[in-house]
Structure 1
Amino acid sequence: MELLLLLWSFSLWSSWAWPASSLTDSEPPKAENVHWVSLDFKTILRWSAPASNYTFTVLFSEEDDDWNTIDECIQISDTECDLTHELLHKDRTFTADVQTEGSMNNDYDLEELPHTYSDPFNPYKHSELSAVAFSIQKVAERSVTLNISDPLTGIHGPTKQLSIRDVLKKDLKYKVSYYKAGSTGKRDLIVDSNMAQIPNLDPGQSYCFMVAAFVPGRSKSVQQGAWSPQTCTSGSSILEELDMRTVFQAVFIPLVLLIVLVTVLVIYCRFCRRKHKTPDSPSQGPAAHCTVV
């Protein structure tokens, strides 16, 4: 009877202990949803995975060449890796592999550990471009000139932080979208440089402008960057439609001449009155006065 009770107790203990052992020896987590996030050539690889004692190592390959690693992304517990300065800004395609790494307490063969490949990615062709900043440089009678600033990238060169023009060079254009205030019709203009002149505008009218980086050689989904905030001209003052030289010629020169003329006349009249009141001067009679011709 005692032997039967002992066997029964052992079976209960075994049924309780076995699931705990299974949890301890659970399968290593595999990286899921591996994807690239890149803005202005700052490129980060991200993924998701359940919490565990395992770590991850990221490997990357250029154009199916040898696999490489960086110290910052070897056996990390984070679920992202910054590869900006490894991928640089070359027109090359890269692939990443997120490898699960076992802890010191787990005896796993490296080849048996799970890994997940990313989709191919080319920062030069796929990195998104942020909104640009611009200002209205000059308002003429029938045109407006915009001064556009190149956004900075996540890449730092030997002497400065690179702009998107430093990376894209001649491939970078800017798209200007504009419309006359009160109108629903918009017009677009593609320009090559940072100084954009918008011609053929109606004099005295207010116009609104937006600007976005534009790379014609890219696929349509990543061809254009984000739009800038909108900026408008007032169109309420004639002075805003004229340049400073025209304003000077039309207003200030005549005003100066008028002031000089009035000053000369005032001085001349005062001189005449003083001369009339001097005792030694010949009598002019009661009707004597200054006459200005």
Structure 2
Amino acid sequence: MRTHTRPSPVFAAVLLLVRLSATFATDFPPAQNITWKSTNFKTVLTWGPEPTTEYSYTVEFSQLGRERQRNPHCIRSSRTQCDLSSSLTDLRACYTADVLSVPPEGQALELKEYPFSSSLRFCPYTQTLLLGPSFKLVVSPDQKMTTVHVSDPLTAAFKDGNQLSIRDVFGEELEYRVTYRRNKSTGKKVVTSKLNEVEVPGLDAGESYCFQVQALVRSRPTTSQLGELSQTQCTTSRTLPSWTSTRWV
């Protein structure tokens, strides 16, 4: 005859605790509103809600078709953002990310699978927002031309230990679009150039003109070809001196 033994109270309590832990783990709320925020290749993944003390978040990411990876700063974290700038090393690749809801640091991981939510696809080269560059204005002696000297903005990307500019990333694809107008006027004109020194001729001497600059990469989708407009800078209106000849006696 087969005999049945009743489990000890201690074993039963442990078994119940394990089952309850697994049940609670599957009840962790999944992340919501997962969003990529990227400017000049500084790329941060954000989501919500703020976790309670009962759970935390782990981020996994990958290039399309490749194995998932983890950023060491975004494992069992109580934050709702993860800076992946240094992890997305191939700027021309496209990435997706999963945000997993997992037990907080110090608690055992009882399950193989935890609730997670996935991001949309993100492609740094075509989707990062290019911020407005800084620039200087140099007015010609006759005041009929202004040269806009544009500085290439730095990015959050590095190669061989060197920080890259947007010129380093986009090369000959990068152009600068200069929008200008007469001060206190609403009519605008545009000139584009692949150079960092953009000449704007045909101006009226003695008049003040205002300028804005933005990056332009025509190979990107139409919605992201133009970068953010820079701050406005204006030249000073000046009256040309009247030169008279002097006869020395």
Superposition TM-score tier, normalisation by shorter sequence: 0.7 to 0.9
Shift of 1:159: 4.8
Distance 1:182 1:74 in 2: 54
1:202 alignment partner in structure 2 = 204
Give the superposed CA RMSD: 2.6
**Residues 94 and 102 from structure 1, CA distance in 2 versus in 1: closer, same or farther, beyond 3 angstroms?**
same
Distance 1:88 1:107 in 2: 30
Deviation sequence 1:184-225 (CA, Å, 0-9, x none) = 311111111110001222333322111111222222332222
More strand by share: 2
2:79 alignment partner in structure 1 = 78
More helix by share: 1
Shift of 1:146: 1.0
Shift of 1:89: 5.1
**Residues 184 and 77 from structure 1, CA distance in 2 versus in 1: closer, same or farther, beyond 3 angstroms?**
closer
1:186 alignment partner in structure 2 = 188
1:41 alignment partner in structure 2 = 41
Find 1:173's aligned residue among 172, 175, 179. Answer: 175
2:64 alignment partner in structure 1 = 63
Distance 1:120 1:183 in 2: 42
Shift of 1:86: 1.2
TM-score, normalised relative to structure 1 = 0.69
2:11 alignment partner in structure 1 = none
Shift of 1:169: 1.4
TM-score, normalised relative to structure 2 = 0.80
Q: Does 1:144 align with 2:146?
A: yes
**Residues 222 and 107 from structure 1, CA distance in 2 versus in 1: closer, same or farther, beyond 3 angstroms?**
closer
Distance 2:56 2:80 in 1: 9
Unmatched runs of 5 consecutive residues or more in structure 1: 1-20, 240-246, 263-293
Shift of 1:53: 2.4
For residue 158 of structure 1, what is the amino acid of its counterpart? Answer: D
Distance 1:31 1:224 in 2: 32
Distance 2:69 2:166 in 1: 27
Which structure 1 residue ranges, 4+ long, deviate > 3 Å from structure 2?
103-108, 156-160
1:163 alignment partner in structure 2 = 165
Higher relative contact order (CA 8 A, sep 6+): 2
Distance 2:239 2:109 in 1: 80
Asked whether the 8 Å contact 1:132–1:151 carries over to 2, the reply is yes
**Residues 83 and 159 from structure 1, CA distance in 2 versus in 1: closer, same or farther, beyond 3 angstroms?**
closer
Query: What SS does structure 1 have at the residue aligned with 2:78?
Result: coil
Distance 1:51 1:190 in 2: 52
**Residues 238 and 89 from structure 1, CA distance in 2 versus in 1: closer, same or farther, beyond 3 angstroms?**
farther
Deviation sequence 1:26-65 (CA, Å, 0-9, x none) = 7112111111111110001111134232122211111221
**Residues 32 and 140 from structure 1, CA distance in 2 versus in 1: closer, same or farther, beyond 3 angstroms?**
same
Find 1:227's aligned residue among 209, 226, 229. Answer: 229
Shift of 1:161: 2.2
Q: Percent of aligned pairs with the same residue?
A: 35
Shift of 1:69: 1.5
Query: What SS does structure 1 have at the residue aligned with 2:156?
Result: strand
**Residues 60 and 25 from structure 1, CA distance in 2 versus in 1: closer, same or farther, beyond 3 angstroms?**
closer
Distance 1:36 1:215 in 2: 20
1:289 alignment partner in structure 2 = none
Query: How many pairs were matched up?
Result: 225
